[in-house]
Chain A
Amino acid sequence: MSANPAQQKAPWILAALLLAQVALMSSNARHPDSEQSILRVWLVTAFAPIVNVTGSVLSSIKGTAGGYLDVRHAREENIELREKVDQLTAERNDALERAAELNLLRRELALPSRPQYREISANVISRDSSLWFRRLIIDRGSGDGVKRDMPVATAGGVVGRVISLGPNFAMVQVITDKHAGVGAMLQNSRAMGEVRGVGDDDRCELKNIKTSENVEVGESVVTTGLDRIYPKGLLIGTVERIEPDPNAPWHRITVKPAAAVDRIEHVLVLLVEAKDLKFTDTK
């Protein structure tokens, strides 16, 4: 019985392929820009339009089916929403009044006004395609002015940052990803720490807050702007649970993200680069 030459050489081919991939993963893991690779850019650039169109079709089918069920609860929901609109309108008027007062005070004290950043909206076309990483793929890329490390948010709060992109897509690392980190502070006490993703569920941890700091459940956590990625003052989430760390003089604080990172469909990419944030700080 004679095997064909390719089958005979199979162990050698296997060894060569495994060795090549060891080299590839070693260089990827060592290189800080490993998320941006030619293979990823080519493949996702080619796949993005197909995923986008298929996603739109599936979403419209899901929307049509869900629409019938939604109609049955529309009356009660309508009443609840009207009440909420009234409440939010009052809160908005209050916020506008406070903002006007704040601007007036800033002018009188000659403080720089809060910078406004340009933003573009994007649709989520793929989400969490593997168990291991919390990633989104959005339908905006370098062709739309998006660059690496630009922050991504919703009206609710911070979603993550762009880690890889091609002409028609950007891959976003969500703040709940195990490898994500955001410079953060508690809104009331202004104590600074770092929000890290947990990866296991859609929660984050606020680290490096001393036990001497007074922290309350429900307190808002906002960005510090010191990480040179996220502008200062963006809402990250709220404190959900506080536990003492028996091994360190820090609180163990669980943060619930303000943005619904596990089910968002649309996001805003803030067209902010590190140099813009630097300019703001030195102003």
Chain B
Amino acid sequence: MQTFKIALTIIVALLLQMILPRYVSFFGYIDLALLVTVYSGLQRAPVLGMVTGVIAGLGGDAVQGGILGVGGFSKTLIGYLVGVASVRLSLENPLARLSVVAVASAANTVLFVGLHQMLEQPLPHVSTWADFGRTIAWKTLGDTVASIVLFVVLDRLFSEQATARRMAIKKRFYE
């Protein structure tokens, strides 16, 4: 059931990513596939975060254009690292989750731009270090704000997993 829910979440995220920027141009700064990956990683499951990262990343590459595999690579890595971090640290606190999203968003932008540079495929908005810094800041802001709403929705959708996760953390850190 959880696999089905995650698959559905990725599909809806990719569809929204195709639809919404046409009406709200700032939506281009938000990466819903990344947010779903981070949420999966936060379920204290590195493998789940990694697999979600592969599927959401490759799906994002397919619908947004560009080189296939670049978004997949960065999201796979981020999904795994968030999963490992959530196993070792207590990231249940909403503030901690926002921090994780902010760091993941910045890392995703750096990886995405870096891989394109390595493949000699220049990207816009990064022609100077100042531009690059501004782009990272705006994308981090967009992703973090969007995650506040999205994670509330996903917490409801994955309420059973959220309860189990809270119990596991309680057992590990407080008993």
Question: B119: CB under 8 A from chain A?
Answer: yes
Within the complex, the shortest CB–CB distance from B154 to chain A, in Å, comes to 20
Given A43-B59, A43-B62, A200:B124 Cβ within 8 A: yes
**A75 to B36 alpha-carbon distance, docked (Å):** 48
**CB of A252 within 8 Å of the partner chain:** no
Interface status of B42 (Cβ within 8 A of chain A): no
Additional A-B contact list (9), CB under 8 Å, known A130-B65, A135-B65: A22-B69, A24-B69, A28-B69, A40-B68, A55-B22, A128-B21, A133-B64, A135-B64, A178-B124
Let me know if A236 is at the binding interface, CB within 8 A.
no
Q: A50 to B80, alpha carbons, bound, how many Å?
A: 31
8 A-B interface contacts by CB (under 8 A): A21-B73, A29-B67, A39-B68, A129-B63, A130-B64, A131-B29, A132-B66, A199-B124
Known pairs A131-B125, A200-B125; A17 contacts B76 (CB<8 A): yes
Mark out the residues of chain B between 1 and 57 whose CB falls within 8 Å of any chain A CB in the assembled complex.
14-15, 17-19, 21-23, 25, 28-29, 31, 45-47, 50, 54
CA distance A25 to B110 in the complex (A): 17
A side interface size, CB within 8 A: 51
Contact A25 B46 (CB under 8 A): no
Q: Residues of B contacting A200 with CB < 8 Å?
A: 124-125, 127, 131
A-side contacts of B122, CB under 8 Å? 178-179
A10 with B46: CB separation less than 8 A? yes
Which residues, 133 to 176 on A, are CB-close (under 8 Å) to B? Answer: 133, 135, 137, 163-164, 171, 173
Contact B67 A34 (CB under 8 A): yes
Contact: B59 with A29, CB < 8 Å? no
Judge if A26 is at the interface, Cβ distance under 8 Å. yes
Query: Which residues does chain A contribute within 8 Å of B97, judged by CB atoms?
Result: none
Contact A129 B21 (CB under 8 A): yes
Q: In the bound complex, do residue B58 and residue A39 qualify as a contact, i.e. CB atoms below 8 Å apart?
A: yes
Q: Which of A14, A124, A262 gathers the greatest number of chain B CB atoms within 10 Å? A: A14
A21 and B63 form a contact (CB under 8 A):
no
Does B68 contact A34, Cβ atoms closer than 8 Å?
A: yes
- Judged by a CB distance under 8 angstroms, whether A13 is at the interface is yes
Q: Which residues of B contact A10 (CB under 8 A)?
A: 46-47, 50, 80, 83
Closest Cβ of chain B: how far from A48's Cβ, in Å? 9
Count chain A CB atoms within 10 A of each CB in B22, B47, B66, B123 and give the residue with the most. Answer: B22
Given A10-B80, A24-B68: A44 and B22 interface contact (C-beta under 8 Å):
no
Interface residue? A58 (CB, 8 A): yes
**Minimal beta-carbon separation of A36 from chain B (angstroms):** 11
Contacts of B47 in A (CB 8 A): 6-7, 10, 13
A131 and B135 within 8 A (CB): yes
- In the complex, the chain B residue whose C-beta lies closest to that of A14 is B80
- B135–A40 touching, CB < 8 Å: no
B18 touching A25 by the CB < 8 A rule?
Answer: no
B124 to chain A, nearest CB (A): 3
Q: How many Å from the CB of B47 to the closest CB on chain A?
A: 5
Contact call A28/B124, Cβ cutoff below 8 A: no
A82 close to chain B: CB less than 8 A: no
Chain B: CB-nearest residue to A6:
B47
Report the nearest B residue to A62, measured CB to CB.
Answer: B23
Chain A contacts for B60, CB-based, 8 A: 130
Cβ A13 vs Cβ B135 within 8 A: no
The answer to whether A199 and B68 touch (CB under 8 A), given A14-B76, A43-B62, A55-B19, is no
The answer to whether A133 and B66 touch (CB under 8 A), given A14-B50, A126-B19, is yes
- The distance in angstroms between the C-alpha atoms of A48 and B109, with both chains bound, is 27
Query: Is A25 a contact of B14 with CB atoms below 8 Å?
Result: no
In this assembly, does B70 line the interface, its C-beta being within 8 Å of a C-beta of chain A?
yes
Contact B127 A128, beta carbon cutoff 8 Å: no
- The answer for the CA separation of A26 and B112 in the assembled complex, in Å, is 14
Q: Mark B112-154, 1 if CB is under 8 A from A, else 0.
A: 1001100111111101000100010001000000000000000
